Amino acid sequence: MWLRSLSLTQFRNYARLEWRLEPRVIMVYGGNAQGKTNLLEAIAYAATGHSFRTGSDRELIHWAAWRDPMPFARVIAEFVRQDGPVRLEIALVAEGGTPSPETASLRKQVRINGVPHRALDLFGQAAVVVFAPQDVEVVGGPPAERRRLMDLLIAQTSPAFARTLAAYQRALAQRNALLRRLQEEGGDPGQLDLWDESVARYGAPLMGQRARALHAIAGYAEEIHRTLSGGEPLMLRYIPGLDPAQVEGQMALDTLLWGQGWAEAELAEIFRKALLRERAADIRRGSTRVGPHRDDLRFIVDGVDIGLYGSRGQQRTAILAFKLAAARWLASVFRESPLLLLDEVMAELDEERRRYLLRALEDAEQAILTTTDPMLFAPDFRERVRRFHVQAGFLREDPDPPGIG
């Protein structure tokens, strides 16, 4: 799988860009704040409808576009898959009397091969894996970041997962709204029965798919981590958020999820009973305290949770192993390699890990990497890749970056 073309209009610092690519390793280099990361962000955004840098789509619109009566940004990416090309287009249109980056409401328009679609329909059209310096923060950061990491990977392989996740979030929001009303005004707790059923019905397949995906990724990650770390074992531990107060039950559930005998109906019933058991506490708090919205992923190295006790170097190695493992998993699902997007990651790695990552790039059909310093790469590598220089939102092919020729 590879990206054949990228078209940007008023996206970040690109007023206009038309970029044609080939299935090979591509280097984009230039100074800081010139637009290197924006290119990778645009590609990943087209594939998933989500930015790996911000949760606010307003930030994606070029600053100068806000002077127009109707500010907008557009990204169009054409991916080539084994079964043919697919054209993904997202337009963000600011609406309101006097649109501004702080107050405007946005309308997101998605087209797939020219046909209007929902944003959720982007999932399954293309597969990308992003490597970024901030990835290291995921290992020891809040659980929500690790859930997002899991969900964006799984959704790329299963549009049904993305739809189920959206349905779960809507049902959870309704249950929480009712909990707050019961907390403030009182009433019959039996009103929660309907939402308990919905939350359990949608939540069970989420936990099952997360567990199965991580089980598959973990097999690749352990092997890769041993190579990167000189033999240290890595275990990816999925901790389902059903009952944080009962460790034994949690571990039994963990075994159920990872095993081959997983049954969605059984898991949904376990979840529904947990919601009923925690109902009184949920009403007191005004929120739901059990469920996949409380799931977590822990990185265990040689028996130690490195999110809590690991060094930054250990965390960096673990997340690199995870991302490389995720790429292998996506390749096994799609039967073709995903597009690899690497944003300034070489500067964060030592020489041995840099060599390993570059070898992994050779196995991908296409990889796009950014750097401020092409000299971080060996001369033979710099000569093999297609190179582009970016400055102030302008991209040009450069046959002779510093250190070549």
Question: For the chain, what are the domain ranges?
Answer: 140-337
Does 38 show up as a binding residue in the annotation?
no
| pLDDT: which is higher, 373 or 403 | 373
Q: How is residue 242 written in tokens?
A: 């059903």
- What's the mean per-residue pLDDT of the chain? 91
31 annotated to a ligand binding site: yes
CA torsion 295-224-353-139 (nearest 10°) is: 10
Q: What is the pLDDT of residue 392?
A: 95
Going by C-alpha positions, the residue among 32, 58, 27, 47 that lies closest to residue 339 is 47
For residues 385 and 362, give the distance between their C-alpha atoms in angstroms, rounded to a whole number.
10
Hey, what are 157's tokens?
A: 């392989």
Average pLDDT rounded to a whole number, residues 93-122: 90
One-letter amino acid at 132 equals A
Query: Identity (one letter) of the amino acid at 319?
Result: I
Given this model, what pLDDT does residue 362 score? 84
Angle in degrees, CA 142, 144, 147, rounded to 5: 125
The alpha-carbon radius of gyration of the chain (Å, integer) is 23
Measured between alpha carbons, how far is 206 from 198 in angstroms, rounded to an integer?
A: 13
Residues 300-351: pLDDT tens digits? Answer: 999 999 999 999 999 999 999 999 999 999 999 999 999 999 999 988 888 8
- Evaluate if residue 128 carries a pLDDT over 50: yes
391 is in an annotated binding site: no
The verdict on whether residue 35 carries a ligand-binding annotation is yes
Residues 240 and 207 sit within 8 Å (Cβ to Cβ): yes
The answer to whether residues 43 and 4 touch, using CB atoms and an 8 Å cutoff, is no
Q: Which fold has domain 140-337?
A: Glutathione S-transferase Yfyf (Class Pi); Chain A, domain 2 (1.20.1050)
| Interacting residues of 219 by C-beta distance below 8 A, sequence separation 6+ | 325
Between CA 336 and CA 338 the distance in angstroms is 7
For residue range 81-91, list pLDDT tens digits in order: 999 999 999 99
| Residues 6 or more apart in contact with residue 260 via CB below 8 angstroms | none
Per the model's pLDDT, the better-predicted residue between 251 and 327 turns out to be 327
**pLDDT at residue 253, rounded to an integer:** 55
Task: Give the Cα separation of 59 and 173 in Å (integer).
Answer: 26
Q: What is the dihedral of CA 222, 226, 232, 235, to 10 degrees?
A: -10
Task: Please tell me whether 127 is known to bind a ligand.
Answer: no
pTM of the entire predicted model: 0.93
Q: Annotation-wise, does 36 bind a ligand?
A: yes
Q: 405 pLDDT exceeds 60? A: no
What is the reported pLDDT for 110? 98
Q: Is 84 annotated as a binding residue?
A: no
Task: Provide the pLDDT confidence category of residue 246 given band limits of 50, 70 and 90.
Answer: very low
Q: What pLDDT, in 10s, does the model give residues 206-244?
A: 998 999 999 999 999 999 999 999 999 999 999 989 864
